[in-house]
Structure formats: structure tokens, C-alpha cells
Chains A and B, each alone.
Chain A
């Protein structure tokens, strides 16, 4: 499991791995929004939580077709499936690696990008916190989607269509945390609910992903 995680991180960082792609996408989306919406700081501050959360969500999607598809294409998924590593651990390890290379950098960079959208002081901190708590769920659900669509030609689009509706609870509570924090209200209740969504997802998704992989390997 540790070896798998190490391998995934090395693969992500080396050429063609796509590390930083999600982060760059997040940056560009956030910078583009003021161009489209206009420079009024009140309007930007109002929409900032939603825009930042949707941006992070889409950035998470970008690298999902790299979770299982390369392993499927070069045959290592077959070899991993016949190895002593349970498919559940494989799915959990893949999701963790995806979070470390996508969700965690997004959470760390988000407060800085929040400044571009005029997100107020405490808002930035709570944005980072909500992303840190919410993005593991995005990676876990995304890994499940990747397991469902592995082996399909151009499965990436189908993957997005499958996964995005499942992201709704995380998006709802995540954006609410930031909105309430920026508006001076108590952000803890939605954060607790967000953590609940993440924990439930983390508990269920490795098993769902493994089941989907088993069907697709036949």
C-alpha cells in the first residue's frame, strides 16, 4: 500500500503525470471570472465562495481519467488485480494519491486565489479548511467514477457526467461554509456536515470502486 502510494506520487510528478494541471486550471478559472463578471468588488465577494468551490471541483475532475486508465492500458491493472493487494486497498490508495496531488494543493492555494475574488479575511481561512475537509470526498467519488468507466474509449466525458451529480452535497456544504464565514456567521455547522459527507464517502467508496473494477476486468 505504501509502495503503491509512492509509485502513484512518482508517476504524478514525472513527465506526463499531470501534477499541477488541476492547480493551473483552478488558477486560470479564478482569474477569468473577474473578466466575465466585471470588477465590482461587492459582486465578486458575493459569488467568490461558489466560484472557488466550483473551480476546485472542476479542477479535481481533470485528472480523474488518469486514475485507472493508464494502468488499464499498459496491463498493470491486471497485474495489480492478481497481486496480494486487495482491490479495495488499491482503490483507497489511488484515491489518496489523487487527493495528495490534486485536492491538497488546491486547498493550500485557494486562500491566495480568494484574494483575486475579494474574499474577505476569515473567508480565505475557512475556504482552505472547507476544501481540505471536502476534497477527499471528491477524490474518493472520482475514483469510483474512474473505476466504473475504466476501459471505455473516451470515458473521460462519461466520467464527468457520472461524477458531477455526486459532487452536489460536498459543493453545497463546502460553499456554505465559506459564505457563512465571509458573512460573519458561524461556519461550523456546515463544516461538520461537510466532514460527515466526506467520512461517509471514504467509508463506502473503496468497496464500490473495487466492485466496479471487478466487473470491468472480466
Chain B
């Protein structure tokens, strides 16, 4: 049963990954990438890595890809010029492809990832919590690398905001503090005037 599930999700994953690069419509490509993330999360679940699987869905599918989809939808890409000169660039593309395949075969070959090289991890009992173990490890043994990584991310956030923040003169802004502090005397002026009489 588990094997059947594995092969099913693997087939879907390979199909989705293929469609990401062959789909003509960029929005379709992004949605296939979402499907690819989703199926790899399912494969991770089969490996009992439930924390990583759910975080993959939460972070990549739930946040990163939504923004990605956003950008791709907003861009009105004209696809025709992108497809021009296919024959001219083909040799370069094939060369790069061959290099990548060669590297992948060398690294992900049976020498390092074969059935003999990797021992099958032991099955854990039902009450074993992947999340708890990972959290304990992350906050005790690897606490400094973890903190350094978060500081680097914080720096990236600050840098991104500093690069894009600009103050334009003349734009109207709502100041909530002032609105709340406003009172009647500031806004309303009662005017006393004599009653007018219509002319006969």
C-alpha cells in the first residue's frame, strides 16, 4: 500500500515538474509548481517527516507561491518574443543540459544514494513527535546557527524595506492617533445667526 502511494505521488510530482517547464502559460506553470510542492510534501509525510512536510506547504505553498502567482498574474507577458531564436540557442541549451545531467549523475548516483549506501531509518512509534524532537534539537544543540540564520533574515527584511521605502511629498496619510484624539471642539463650530425671512 505504501509503495503504491509512493509511486502515485512520485508520478504526479514528475508530471508536475515537467509541466512547470513546458507549460505555455506562465500562470499554469506556477500552479504546476504549487502541485509539485504539494506532492513532495506528501512524499515527506511518507518518510515520517511531518513537520517538514507541513512547513513546506505552509511556507512555500501558502505564502511564497501566492506572492509568486501574484507577480506572474500582474505581469502581462508577451510570450512570442520569448520563443524566438529557439534553433539559435539550442546548442548552448543542450550543452548546459548535458553538464547538469552529468553533475547530477555524479552526485546523486548509486555510489552515494544506492540501497547499500543508505540505511533504512527505523520506524517510530505512533506517539513520537517529529515536531518536538526537531524543536528541542534546534533550540539546544543548534541554537547559535539558528539565531544567526534568523538575524540574517531580519537584515534582509530591513534592507528590502530600506531600499523600497521612499517618502513622496504631497501624499495624504491617515493619522489614526490624531483622529482618535479629535474632540468636538476641534471639528464642530456652532454659528448663531438670525432667522431669515422669505420675502413676500
A binds B: no
